[in-house]
Amino acid sequence: MGVISYIKEEIKVVKERDPAIKSDIEVLLYPSFKVMLHYRIAHKLYLKKHYFLARWVSQRGVRKTGIEIHPGATIGKGLFIDHGSGVIIGETAILGDNITLYQGVTLGGTGKEQGKRHPTLEDNVMVSAGAKVIGSFTIGKNSKIGAGSVVLEAVPPNCTVVGVPGRIVKRNNQKLVREDMNQVDLPDPVNEDIKALQHANSEMTNRIIELERELKMLKKSENK
């Protein structure tokens, strides 16, 4: 794809997915446009094994946009990174076509694996703000990852995932019946331990009061 064709394609992608844009020329100011331009150049250098130059171009993109895309990552057409600051895409990540990422998203590795270490996102996946997808597995096409979620295992196509750790709450536009779907009152182990200690302390206090009462009654009976 030539430079002009690439710019036209990026303009189309941004206008389709960002209602805030008012003119084609604004696309040139978008972090998503800038970082993808750097990525495409860096990726070509990476494939030719010019690793230092690839990282140099890539890091220039990071400094300009706050978005870090490793030049080794494989990215299809139509990637849109909305706002973008803090987005990280690892070396062995594979992204299909028409992916949408929001600010603060991490497509990372666990650090324990060799070879393929980062996730694969199939076509039309959306990853919301602050979500983390960690490990070498696949997020199926048309799936959505909720804001702030932490996904540690594969997700089938056409699913919605929320929570920490990420849980599937919708599949093929059908809600899954779960008792633990409340995303506001998530389990808090520390708070639960504190409550357990408070309960134990309350029982101990009541027992001490009861023993003191029995002791007083015993003393009274001895004095009679």
- Is the pLDDT reported for residue 184 higher than 70? no
At 71 the pLDDT is: 94
At 84 the pLDDT is: 78
What average pLDDT does range 10-38 have in this prediction? 81
Give CA–CA dist 112/33, Å, rounded.
33
The dihedral of CA 30, 31, 36, 39: what is its sign? positive
| Same-domain check for residues 148 and 201 | no
161 is a domain residue: yes
Show the CA angle centred on residue 78, arms to residues 75 and 46, nearest 5°: 25
Give CA–CA dist 117/203, Å, rounded.
50
State the maximum Cα–Cα separation within the chain, in Å, rounded to a whole number: 107
pLDDT classification of 187: cutoffs 50, 70, 90: very low
198 is a domain residue: yes
Of all helices (H) and strands (E), which one includes residue 220? helix 189-223
Burial class (CB in 10 A: 0-12, 13-18, 19+), 65: buried
At 171 the pLDDT is: 81
Domain housing 77 = 3-175
| Same-domain check for residues 102 and 127 | yes
Neighbours of 69 (CB within 10 A): 28
At 96 the pLDDT is: 93
At 224 the pLDDT is: 65
- Read off the CATH number of the domain in which 112 is found: 2.160.10.10
At 185 the pLDDT is: 44
Give CA–CA dist 212/192, Å, rounded.
30
Q: Domain count of the chain?
A: 2
What average pLDDT does range 157-163 have in this prediction? 88
Tens of pLDDT along 81-115? 888 789 999 999 999 999 999 999 999 988 766 78
Choose between 16 and 62: higher pLDDT.
62
At 83 the pLDDT is: 82
180 is a domain residue: no
| Same-domain check for residues 171 and 201 | no
40 is a domain residue: yes
| Same-domain check for residues 22 and 104 | yes
User: Alpha carbon 224 to chain centroid distance?
Assistant: 75
Tens of pLDDT along 130-148? 999 999 999 999 999 988 8
Tokens (6 digits) for 58: 């890539």
Could you tell me if 75 and 61 are in contact, meaning their C-beta atoms sit under 8 angstroms apart?
A: no
At 34 the pLDDT is: 86
| Same-domain check for residues 59 and 170 | yes
